[in-house]
Amino acid sequence: MNYLYAIVFIVLAPLVGGLIAGIDRKITARMQGRVGPPVLQPFYDLGKLLEKEHVVVALSQNYFVLGYLVFNLFAGALFFAGGDLLLVVFAFTLADVLLVLGAYAATSPYSFVGAERELVQVMAYEPMIILAAAGFYIATGSFFVTDIAAYPAPLIVLLPGLFLGLFYVLTMKLRKSPFDISTSHHAHQEIVKGVTTEFSGSTLGMVEVAHWYETVFLLGLFWLFFAWNPVVAAIALVIIYLAEIFIDNATARVRWGFALRSIWIVTLVLATLNIVALQLLGGL
Amino acid sequence: VDVLYFLLLAPLIAAVLLYVLPDHPVRDWLVRLAAVVIAGASVYLLATAFDKGTQLIAFPTEPAGLVLEGLGLAVALAILGLSIKYRKPVAAALVLVQVGLLLWFSVVYSPGMHAEHNLFADEFSIVMAVIIGVIGSAICAYAVPYMRTFHEHHPEIQDRRRMFFFVLFAFLSAMFGIVFSNNLAWFLVFWEVTTFCSFVLIGYTRTEEAIDNAFLAVVLNLVGGIGFTAALLWLGMTGGSIELDKLIAGGAAIALVPATLIGFAGLTKAAQLPFSSWLLGAMVAPTPVSALLHSSTMVKAGVYAIVKFAPVFANTLPGLALGLVGGVTFLAASAIAVTQSNAKRVLAYSTVANLGLVVACGGIGTYEAVWAAILLIIFHAVAKSLLFLGVGTVEHQVHSRDIEDMAGLITNLPKVGLMMLIGMAGMYLAPLGMLLSKWATLRAFIDAPGGVIFLLLVAFGSAVTVFFWAKWMGLLIARPNRGENIESRVPRDELAVLGLLAFLVVTVSVLFPWISRYLLEPYVFTLYGQIAQLGQDNIIIMLLMMGTVILLPASLLYFRKGRHVLKPYMSGRATTDDMRFSGSLGIQREMGLHNYYLEDLFNEPRTFRAGVAVTVVLIVLMFAGLVLAGGFA
């Protein structure tokens, strides 16, 4: 494993993630015919959040949110260090559950609903991510990100179904419409502020930073499909993210029941077909 | 070896003493003493025998064999008598079939079959013995204060505590019998004794519901028992060996038929679909009974038998079908658990689900799968016993076993609440035990033949698991009311046992690398000549995570300072301190928080029916596969 990459991730990911968020907001604004905030706006927002008064609803909530940040960082660092993909997935689940517990601990009706909906999200995307990790293993013979990234052939050719499935799930992970069911950037379709309703000031700042880390990790996960050629990979990531922004602006939030069902069906069909095909090919 | 005899006999002696002694505080102390002694002895066995590999013991067949045969018959007659008394024709008929087959076996075949080694101990049976010894005894000790409170709360129920503790300890004895028997005929006797013990314990309150559920348990387990007896008969008819070690060493060629029949018996005992209903019904019993049935005894006997025969199942059609029964049970039971708000039912379905994973591993039967299966057994036993006992304590204090009534438990019963949180985290979160085992399971499934289906079952099943545990944890830490702290009402020894088990959940997870290295890897290596492990790097990272999780609460010290505590956002409505707000028309309403149960998605009867349909087909396939493989020829 390469610990240098882990340190680079820990230092740079918030900058990259924040920048992506800024560009995202700019492009979104243009799509909606607005001028939009400066690209560095997410950092200004964060700075302001950190200055705010320490206000909480329950004393324990910050503890859970800190855990959310720490384990997002931990899982991402493990990924970029080249660690075991399944362990990365489990660490992210732990992080997400901690965020949910923070929302529960706040005991506000709105954050409570947000917590339940966030859990529906976890339930919706978890199978796809586990199956993707399994797919990488079946294709490359290793769970370690180092080995997967060093695989000489283009994995996108071997794992197109898993790629599409993950792309479908990515919308939810990035908290974008139509699957932004627990908390959303679009105020008009939100139940107050969902899972983050009761987080404010530096606590909300931690949630933001954790999300930036997660964004970089998710892009890293997609990188693996194209890792054999960095130029192609970079272009692919740009296209993927632009597509997500477009989908975000072109759709309205769906009901959580629909989100769950559709993601499960997509997962079931695409992952099964891909893995079975892969094993048949491997048997030849 | 002497410790082994001690473990078989000590619980029995304790049981008899407890039955004879009058109702007196001395008896309570005897329970505690016996619990400590048995737990100590099992740990002593672990400490002295873990590095000895498989030890076969040439214990003389007579007179022990005769005594056990008599015991088997006595148990059967007792069930028969009760079936007649309570007019349960199905149970009576099954007992008669069972006794008939058994007599046929012991008259015609048994005299010709000699077991060289009647008893044995290997790493797996030592692990099981420690689970039975430590967790089983802890539950017995917990039962002392619990049963006292139970009878205070339910004066209408006849106090039969003498019988209760007698059966509790006899149960432990029978479980030790199961895990140390190398002679399958002895194995079967102990097996039937556990069926009888659970029958008596489930029917403890003698209400109509309790009696019905006790008979449901006995009927389903007798179906399995008949399968087991059929295995013995088949061995007798074909001149096979009656010794466990010889059968397993012989592999699928000679042992597939008995292994499949015993695997079928294991399915009933481990409450897999379609037989799961008895374990759900068993909840009518006092909570320590549920804790015992779910964690260290009964259902664990079922999966023990299946995992024991795992090498025989590897790469066979019956093994695949058996494993799929487990996999389907895992998914279906997890989904049903989402829809339940009765805490004990959630725990019960979660047990059924996790045992399903163990059965899936056993059916697949590769070295990685066996390794994962034993890990699952260990971690599940610790966490689940903690959760059941926790629910028992909560029920006595809050007077409800509904999860919705546990909202704010962290305020009312902070210690109990914290321990339950540890138990739940232990069931599904990294870096604690069950997650480690699920990880191992996933890896075992990917490499197995037919692995895709298992992979899908476990991927979806785990996601569902996260949902129902996390929402329960959420309710415990939410504080909808400023309730008072009533923890001082909880009996001290109940808290002590809960504390011990919570400590074990964390310790066993930390000790996992050593458990794997000194117990599981040698066991798997002896059977397969290969070693399964998670890898050095991963273990270090897991320990790192564990350290982080343990250290994180320290941040609370910082977060307590200089915080301005406000009320939650209530859309600007005037809200009182105990979260009452003025609703429409000036009516004051109380804020209520309720979990999602997704009943339209995972509807219990529908999911159950679907699961039963699929598993019945799979069981038919299991036996069909046996015929195809030429097993019966």
C-alpha torsion A103→A106→A111→A112, nearest 10: 90
Pick from B430, B442, B474: CB nearest A104: B474
What distances in angstroms separate CA B95 from CA B8, B69, B221, B267, one per listed residue?
26, 15, 11, 19
**Which one of A71, A87, A92, A136 makes the best mutation probe of the B interface by having the most chain B beta carbons within 10 Å?**
A87
Q: Compare all CA atoms of chain A with the CA of B539 and give the residue at the minimum distance.
A: A87
pLDDT, tens digit, for every residue of B451-465?
889 999 999 999 999
Would you call B478 and A70 a contact, using CB atoms and an 8 Å cutoff? no
pLDDT, one tens digit per residue, over B151-206 is: 998 998 888 888 999 999 999 999 999 999 999 999 999 999 999 999 999 999 99
Whether B429 and A93 lie within 8 Å, measured CB to CB: yes
Contact B470 A100 (CB under 8 A): yes
Percent of chain B residues past pLDDT 70, beyond the cut: 99
CA B498 to chain centre: 17
Measure the CA–CA gap between B478 and B398, rounded to whole angstroms.
Answer: 16
Name the amino acid, one letter, at A12: L
pLDDT value at residue B65: 85
* CA-based nearest residue in chain A for residue B439: A86
A247 touches chain B (CB under 8 A): no
Closest partner CB to B446 (pick from A63, A111, A137): A137
Give the pLDDT mean for B371-379: 93
A272 at interface of B, judged by CB pairs closer than 8 A: yes
Residue with tokens 């993909």: A85
Q: Which residues of B426-455 are buried (b: 16+ CB within 10 A; e: fewer)?
A: bbbbbbbbbbbbbbbbbbbbbebeebbbbb
Cα–Cα distance measured from residue A112 to residue A106, given in angstroms and rounded to the nearest whole number: 8
Rounded to a whole number of angstroms, the distance from the CA of A38 to the nearest CA of chain B is 31
* pLDDT at residue B633, rounded to an integer: 43
- Whether residue A280 contacts residue A136, with contact meaning beta carbons closer than 8 Å, is answered with no
Chain A residue with minimum CA distance to B461: A127
Closest CB from B459, B474, B596 relative to A131: B459
Average pLDDT over residues B287-301: 91
CA nearest B457: which of B311, B220, B270, B273?
A: B273
CB atoms within 10 A of CB A36: 18
Provide the token pair at B338: 């989402």
Alpha-carbon distance of B176 to B207, in angstroms, equals: 31
Taking an 8 Å cut-off on Cβ atoms, the answer to whether B538 and A127 are in contact is no
Rounded mean pLDDT, B434-450? 86
Q: Which residue has the tokens 């139940």?
A: A191
The mean pLDDT value for B132-161 works out to: 92
Q: Which residues contact B301 (CB under 8 A, 6 or more apart)?
A: B175, B178, B191, B194, B269
Tell me how far apart the alpha carbons of residues B535 and B524 are, in angstroms, rounded to a whole number: 16
* Subunit contact B568:A257, Cβ cutoff 8 A: no
Mean of all residue pLDDT scores within chain B:
89
Task: Give me the amino acid identity at B177.
Answer: G
Q: Which residues of B touch A124 (CB under 8 A)?
A: 463
Cα–Cα distance list, B549 to A67, B233, B426, B515, B621 (Å): 8, 53, 12, 21, 46
Q: Do B466 and A122 touch (CB under 8 A)?
A: yes
Report whether A189 contacts A253 (CB < 8 A).
Answer: yes
Confidence of residue A283 (pLDDT cuts 50, 70, 90): low
Secondary structure (DSSP) of A194-259: GGGTT--HHHHHHHHHHHHHHHHHHHHHHHGGGTT-HHHHHHHHHHHHHHHHHHHHH--PPPHHHH
Q: Count how many Cα atoms sit within 13 Å of the Cα of residue B332 in the half-sphere of its side chain.
A: 25
Query: How confident is the model at residue B530, as a pLDDT?
Result: 84
What phi and psi, each to the nearest 5 degrees, are found at residue B519?
-115, -55
| Cα distance between residue B370 and residue B376, in whole Å | 10
- The whole-angstrom separation of Cα B366 and Cα B344 is 33
Determine contact: A62 vs chain B, CB below 8 A.
yes
Strand-strand pairing, B564-565 and A55-56: parallel
Among the partner-chain residues B462, B564, B570, the one whose CB lies closest to the CB of A53 is: B564
Question: What pLDDT, in 10s, does the model give residues A119-142?
Answer: 999 999 999 999 999 999 999 999
The shortest CB-CB distance from A108 to any of B446, B569, B596 is to B569
Reported as a single tens digit per residue, the pLDDT across A60-92 is 888 899 999 999 999 999 999 999 999 999 999
Q: Which of B257, B280, B176, B274 is nearest to B223 (CA)?
A: B274
Decide: helix, strand or coil at residue B565: strand
Element (H, E) at B588: strand B588-590
pLDDT at A1 over 80: no
Task: Note the pLDDT of residue B482.
Answer: 65
Query: Is it the case that residue A47 has pLDDT exceeding 90?
Result: yes
Q: What contacts B92, CB < 8 A, 6 or more positions away?
A: B80, B83, B84
User: B330 CA to chain A: closest CA distance, Å?
Assistant: 14
Q: Which of A4, A262, A282, A281 is nearest to A128 (CA)?
A: A262
Mind telling me how many Å the CA of A62 is from chain B's nearest CA?
Answer: 7
- Dihedral, CA atoms, B85, B91, B92, B95, nearest 10 degrees? -130
Collect all residues with Cβ–Cβ distance below 8 Å to B370 and sequence separation of at least 6: B307, B310, B311, B361, B362, B523, B524, B527, B528, B532
* Number of residues that make up chain A: 284
Distance CA B612, CA B623 (A): 17
Chain Cα centroid distance, residue B451: 25
Q: Which of B424, B441, B446, B543 to mutate to test the interface with A (most CBs of A within 10 A)?
A: B446
**B603 three-state secondary structure:** coil
CB-based contact A107 B475, cutoff 8 Å: no
Nearest CA of chain A to the CA of B618: how many Å?
A: 21
Select the more confidently predicted residue: B282 or B563: B282
Task: Give, in order, the Cα–Cα distances in Å from B356 to each of A31, A134, B326, B347, B468.
Answer: 51, 21, 4, 14, 17
Does any CB of chain B come closer than 8 Å to the CB of residue A57? yes
Which residue type does B29 have?
Answer: W
Amino acid at B548: T
B465-498 burial by CB neighbour count: b if 16+ within 10 A, else e? bbbbbbbbbbbbbbbbbebeeeeeebbeebbebb
Q: What is the pLDDT of residue B289?
A: 93
End-to-end alpha-carbon separation of chain A, Å? 33
Q: Is pLDDT above 50 for B518?
A: yes
Which of the residues B559, B577, B590 would you substitute to probe the A interface, choosing the one with the greatest number of A C-beta atoms within 10 Å? B559
Amino acid at B161: R
Residues of chain A with C-beta less than 8 angstroms from the C-beta of B533? none
pLDDT tens-digit readout, B213-241: 999 999 999 999 999 999 999 999 888 88
| Nearest Cβ partner for A83 among B473, B479, B541 | B541
| Residue B290, token pair as written in the block | 């549920």
pTM for this entry: 0.95
Is the pLDDT at A284 greater than 60? The verdict is no
3-state secondary structure at position B5: helix
A200 CA to chain B: closest CA distance, Å? 11
To the nearest whole Å, the CA of B580 is away from the closest chain A CA by: 12
Write a three-state SS string for B83-116.
HHHCCCHHHHHHHHHHHHHHHHHHHHHHHHCCCC
Residues A54, B564: C-beta atoms closer than 8 Å? yes
- Is there a contact between B463 and A123 if contact means CB atoms under 8 Å apart? yes
Stated as kind and residue range, the H or E segment containing B580 is strand B580-582
**Contact call for residues B194 and B178 (beta carbons, < 8 A):** yes
**A6: confidence class by pLDDT, cuts 50, 70, 90:** very high
Contact A107 B480 (CB under 8 A): yes
In Å, how far is A64's CA from the nearest CA of chain B? 9
Which residues in A lie closer than 8 A to residue B483 (C-beta atoms)?
none
Asked if B559 lies within 8 A of A62 by C-beta distance, the reply is yes
Counting one residue from chain A and one from chain B, the pairs whose CB atoms sit within 8 A come to 176
DSSP A43-71: HHHHHHHHHS--EESSTTHHHHHHHHHHH
pLDDT tier at B630, thresholds 50, 70, 90: low
Letter string b/e over residues B115-138, b meaning 16 or more CB atoms within 10 A of that residue's CB: bebbbbbbbbbbbbbbbbbbbbbb
Query: What pLDDT score was predicted for residue A211?
Result: 95
Q: B565 and A74: CB-CB below 8 Å?
A: no
Per the CB < 8 Å rule, is A112 touching B596? no
User: Do A87 and B563 count as a contact with CB atoms less than 8 A apart?
Assistant: no
B55's enclosing H/E stretch is strand B55-57
The token pair at B550 is: 């343990």
* Residue pointed to by tokens 């008009």: A188
Q: Do A66 and B455 touch (CB under 8 A)?
A: no
DSSP B301-345: HHHHHHHHTHHHHTT-HHHHHHHHHHHHHHHHHHHHHHT--BHHH
**pLDDT, tens digit (0-9, with 9 covering 90-100), for B520-563:** 999 999 998 888 777 778 888 888 888 888 888 877 777 777 77
**Closest by Cβ to A279, choosing from B452, B464, B595:** B452
pLDDT on residue A62 = 85
